[in-house]
């Protein structure tokens, strides 16, 4: 049996990525040296930096949007890029829902994932025409 620790629901219009719904753990720590907040999104293999808590929220949003745009434009699409990072298709009805699953026997990983703050964004818009394109 597996526990789903994070999920991403992908919304497309035709082949075009429109938005995603995200729920995943993130970690942040204030640096002793420069006062910046170092934010980690390990399930996407992304680290980013923010100047304060408000900026950290924005940095997380931008990092996820950038991951999606780069996956679509330069990779094999968001679904395949997430699967390469260990995400699995969890919806049986053909919807684009991927989850990061942890086996019940992997208690250490399960505990580690529970220590992160849960970032939730029910509708993160992805516009390829944005400044990142």
Tell me if 124 sits within 8 A of 19, measured CB to CB. yes
Please tell me the predicted confidence (pLDDT) of residue 35: 86
Report if residue 13 sits inside a domain.
yes
What token pair was written down for 61? 């949003």
**Residues with Cβ < 8 Å from 24, sequence gap 6 or more?**
5, 6, 7, 8, 41, 43, 44, 100, 118, 119
**Helix or strand (DSSP H, E) at 61:** helix 53-74
Report if residue 99 sits inside a domain.
yes
Report if residue 130 sits inside a domain.
no
Please tell me the predicted confidence (pLDDT) of residue 109: 67
Please tell me the predicted confidence (pLDDT) of residue 4: 62
CA distances, 44 to each of 30, 34, 41, 79, 83 (Å): 21, 25, 6, 12, 10
Report if residue 132 sits inside a domain.
no
Report if residue 133 sits inside a domain.
no
CA distances, 15 to each of 10, 18, 78, 104 (Å): 11, 9, 11, 35
Please tell me the predicted confidence (pLDDT) of residue 110: 65
Residue 110 domain boundaries: 2-125
pTM above 0.75, yes or no: yes
Q: Name residue 99's beta-bridge partners.
A: 7, 88
> Residue ranges of the chain with pLDDT lower than 50?
1, 130-133
Number of domains in the chain: 1
């Amino acid at each position: 049996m597996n526990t789903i620790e994070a999920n991403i629901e992908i919304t497309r219009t035709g082949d075009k990525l429109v938005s995603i719904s995200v729920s995943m753990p993130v970690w942040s720590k204030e640096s002793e040296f420069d006062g910046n907040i170092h934010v980690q999104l390990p399930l996407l293999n992304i680290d980013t930096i923010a100047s304060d808590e408000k900026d950290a929220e924005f940095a997380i949003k931008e990092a996820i949007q950038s991951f999606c745009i780069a996956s679509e434009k330069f990779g094999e699409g968001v679904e395949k890029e997430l699967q390469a990072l260990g995400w699995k298709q969890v919806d049986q009805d053909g919807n684009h829902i991927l989850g990061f699953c942890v086996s019940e026997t992997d208690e250490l990983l399960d505990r580690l994932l529970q220590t992160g703050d849960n970032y939730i964004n029910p509708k993160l818009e992805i516009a390829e025409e944005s400044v990142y394109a």
